[in-house]
Amino acid sequence: MTSGDFGREHAARWAEAEELLRQLEGGKKPVDGASFPKRFREIGGDLALARRRMYGSAITERLNDLVIRGHAVMDRSRRSGWRSFVEFVTGGFPRAVRSEWRLFWLCNAAFWIPFLGMLWIAGHDMRWVQAVIGTEGMSNMEDMYGGRSQQIAHLRSEYGSNFMMFCFYIYNNVAIDFRVFAGGILAGLGTMFFIVFNGLHIGASAGYANHACDPQSFWTFVAGHSSYELLGMVVAGMAGLAAALELLEAGHEVTVLEARLRPGGRVYTLRDPFSDGLYAEAGALFIPDHHDAVLRYIRRFNLPLAPIPSRAMVSIYYLRDTRILASEGASARWPVELKPEEQRLGPVGLWNRYITPTARKLGDPSRPDWPPEEFRRLDSISFAAFLREQGASEGAIAILRLGYFDLFGDGIDQTSALFLLRDTAMRKDEKQTYCLRNGNDQLPKAMAAAMKDRIRYGCAVQRIEQETARVRVVYRRGLETETITADRVICALPFSILRGIEVEPGFSPVKARAVETLPYTSVCRIFLQFRTKFWARQGLPGSANTDLPIMWCWDPTLLQGGPRGILEAYIAGPTARKLVGMKETDRLLFALTEMDKVYPGSRREFEGGGTKSWDEDEWQRGDYAWCRPGQMTTFGAQLATPEGRIHFAGEHTSAWPGWMQGAVVSGLRAAREVHEAAA
C-alpha cells in the first residue's frame, strides 16, 4: 500500500478524530465523546504503522500532532472550579469515608467513649474534672458559661470583637485537626492520643458545665459550631491512621550508599560547557510510552514530559561514503549489493522482513520462565549469524547493523542473537518516545529529594560481609573507613564494579562467574556545539546512522530554544575504547572531522563541546550490560537471584538492559524481595 492509498483509506477516521479533538479542546461536550479513547488508540496505531512503512513527513507529522493533542486532552483535568468542588463534597468525599469505614468508626469510638465516660464521671466525682482541665480551666468555664449575658461579655473582653472570636475558634479547631492528621506519622499513636485527649477534655468541660455553670449557655454554644469540627477531627484521624498503615506496611529503615556526589548514576544530563542554557543527555536518553514504571515515578513527582516529534526519528543513512535520506524509501540507491526484493524494502522493510517475525514469537521476555525452549538456541549464535539464517544478504546486514544494533556490546558479530531479539520484542508496543523537559536528571534528583538524609554521598563500598542474620558493608567516606550493618542489602552496583569489591563469603559459582564475566558496552559520547542549527536550515534531520567511527548522530537540542544547537556522536564498542585516554580536545576534533561528512558545514559552525567516556568513569567502567553468545542461557535468572541476604538490582538484572525502565523495575523487584523476606 502506498502512502497515498493509506491516507485515502483512513482520511475519514482522521477527520472525525480531528473534529472530536477540536470540540474537546474548546470545552464542548461532543455527541460521540465516549468514543474518543478508542479513536485515540486507532490514531496511535496508524502513526506507528506510518513510521514503520516510512510514508513520509506529511502523514506522520499530521498523525503525530493528533496523538500529542489527544494525549493532552486525555491527561488534562476534566472538571475544575466549583463543579469539581461540588462533586468532591457530594460524591468523592463520602465515597472516601465509606471506603475506610473501619477507621472512621475506630476514630469515633476513640473520641466518644472517653467523652461520655468523663461526662458521666463528672456527675459523681469532680476531682476527675479538676485533674483533666485544672482549676484555671474550671474558672474559665464559669466565666464563659455562667450565663448568656456573662458569656457574651467575657468573649468580647477576651477577643475584642465577634469577628476575632470567630477567627480564634476556627484557628484553634483547625489546628487540632492538623495535629490529629500529622500524628499518623508516629505509627498512628499520635493520632489516637489527640483524639482520646480531646474526648476526655471536652467530656470533662461538658460535665463541669452541667454541674457548676449554666448548661443552656454551654450546650447552645457548642451545638452551634461543634458538629463540623468534631467530624473534621475524626476524618483527619482516619487519614492519619491510613497514612500510618501505609508507612507500617512498607516500614523499613533504609540507607543508600552512593559513591558519586550526585544521584542518578547513568542518568546524567550534561550542562557544562554549553552556552545559553543548552544541555545534552550523556546517559539515559529516551523514555518510551510503554515504560510504565518510569512514567509512574514521573507522574508521582509531577515532572514535565516532552514528546519527541516523529520527524526527529527520520534518519540519514551514511554508508560507504554515500549519504541517503531514509525518506527516499524504495527509490534510494544503496551502495551495497542487495537482492532485488531487498532493494525495494529499505531499512524499515528489511527490519520487518528479517527481524520482526521472530521477535513477535518470543513472548514476554519479562516473565521469569522466559525464553521458550524453542528459542534458547538463538543464544548460541550471533545476531549477524541469525540474520544470515533468515536469508538476509551481506548488503542488507550492512544496512541493518547501523545506528542501533551495533551500539550494543561489540556489535552484531559478537552479540547474542537472543539478547538483541529480546530488546526488539520489548519495544513492540512503543508508539511515542519522550524525554524530560529541562533534562532527564530531574527524575533521580526528585527521587533523591524524597529520600532526604537517607542517602550518603561519597561512599565507595570496599567490602561486603554476610552473616547468618545480618550483613556488614565496609565503605570509604572521604579519608575515613566506615561500617554499616543491615538486615539485608540491595546491591545495585554494575557487575563491572562489583567484581572489584571483596565479598565474604563468596558468591555461588554461577553468580561469581556472572559477576566476573558479564560485559559492559564501551560508550563514548561526544557533543559538538554550533553557532546555529544549520542542519535544520538544510532540511536535514537531526538523526544519522553511519558506518563512520562516530556511528550514530543525534540532535539533543531538538526541543530547546535559541539559535545554537548541539550534535552528538554516540560511539560504542571497539571504537569507543580507542578514545579512552584521548585528550578531550582531540576527541572533539576527531568527531568534528567525521561529522562534517554527514552534516556539511560542521567545521565552519563549530564553537566547542564536551565528552563523556563511560569506560573512564571510575564508578561505572562501561555503560550498559550486554551478552555474548551463550551467556543469556548460562546466567539467565541468576543475574537477579539473591545470594543469602544480598539482593541484586540494576538494568543488568532486568529484561530492559540499557533503559531506565530496567533500573526501576529491578529496584522494585528487589524491594519486594526484601519486604517479603522480612514478613
Cα–Cα dist 40/65, whole Å: 12
- pLDDT, residue 306, reads 93
DSSP alpha helix (H) spans, 250-355:
292-300, 340-343, 346-354
Q: Is 179 or 417 the better-scoring residue by pLDDT?
A: 417
Model confidence band, residue 125 (pLDDT cutoffs 50, 70, 90): confident
Residue 251 has pLDDT above 80, yes or no: no
Residue 589 has pLDDT above 50, yes or no: yes
Residue 76 has pLDDT above 90, yes or no: no
Closest C-alpha among 550, 558, 532 to residue 597: 550
Closest C-alpha among 575, 578, 586 to residue 611: 586
Cα–Cα dist 73/21, whole Å: 8
Cα–Cα dist 93/536, whole Å: 53
Cα–Cα dist 55/43, whole Å: 15
Share of the chain above pLDDT 70, in %: 79
Q: Is 69 or 471 the better-scoring residue by pLDDT?
A: 471
- pLDDT, residue 249, reads 34
Residue 352 has pLDDT above 80, yes or no: yes
DSSP of 11-37: HHHHHHHHHHHHHHHTT---TTGGGHH
Residue 496 has pLDDT above 50, yes or no: yes
Contact 209, 147 (CB under 8 A): no
Strands 316-319 and 322-325: antiparallel
On average, the pLDDT of the chain sits at 83
Closest C-alpha among 361, 401, 371 to residue 384: 401
What does the pLDDT average to over 503-523? 96
DSSP 272: T
Domains and CATH numbers, the chain: 3-76 (no CATH), 102-249 (no CATH), 313-431 (1.10.405)
Q: Which amino acid is at 427?
A: R
Does an H or E element contain 220, and which?
A: helix 215-249
Closest C-alpha among 434, 190, 394 to residue 298: 434
Residue 208 has pLDDT above 70, yes or no: yes
Residues listed for the chain = 679
C-alpha cell at position 55:
510514508
DSSP 92: I
Cα–Cα dist 662/481, whole Å: 32
Cα–Cα dist 39/190, whole Å: 51
What does the pLDDT average to over 407-411? 97
Surface-to-core class of residue 544, CB atoms within 10 Å of its CB (0-12 exposed, 13-18 middle, 19+ buried): buried
- pLDDT, residue 139, reads 72
Count helices and strands (H / E) in the chain: 27, 20
User: pLDDT digits over 28-43, tens only?
Assistant: 666 555 667 777 778 8
Model confidence band, residue 240 (pLDDT cutoffs 50, 70, 90): very low
C-alpha cell at position 71:
494525549
Model confidence band, residue 233 (pLDDT cutoffs 50, 70, 90): very low
- pLDDT, residue 439, reads 96
- pLDDT, residue 224, reads 52
Peptide bond into 371 cis (omega under 30): yes
C-alpha cell at position 423:
530488546
- pLDDT, residue 200, reads 86
- pLDDT, residue 237, reads 41
Cα–Cα dist 536/450, whole Å: 40
Contact 40, 74 (CB under 8 A): yes
User: pLDDT digits over 590-607, tens only?
Assistant: 999 999 999 999 999 999
What does the pLDDT average to over 235-262? 53
Please tell me the pTM assigned to this model.
0.66
User: pLDDT digits over 155-189, tens only?
Assistant: 555 545 555 555 655 566 666 666 666 666 666 77
Q: Which amino acid is at 174?
A: V
DSSP 379: G
Closest C-alpha among 249, 227, 236 to residue 192: 236
Q: Is 252 or 322 the better-scoring residue by pLDDT?
A: 322
Say which range, 127-136, 314-323, 499-508, 560-569, has the weakest mean pLDDT. 127-136
Model confidence band, residue 91 (pLDDT cutoffs 50, 70, 90): low
Share of the chain above pLDDT 90, in %: 48
- pLDDT, residue 185, reads 62
- Cβ neighbours of 316 (radius 10 Å): 21
Q: What angle do CA 454, 621, 271 make, to 5 degrees?
A: 65
Q: Is 228 or 3 the better-scoring residue by pLDDT?
A: 3
> Quick one: CA dihedral 126, 127, 132, 138, positive or negative?
positive
User: pLDDT digits over 133-163, tens only?
Assistant: 887 777 777 666 665 555 555 555 554 555 5
User: pLDDT digits over 40-54, tens only?
Assistant: 778 877 877 776 566
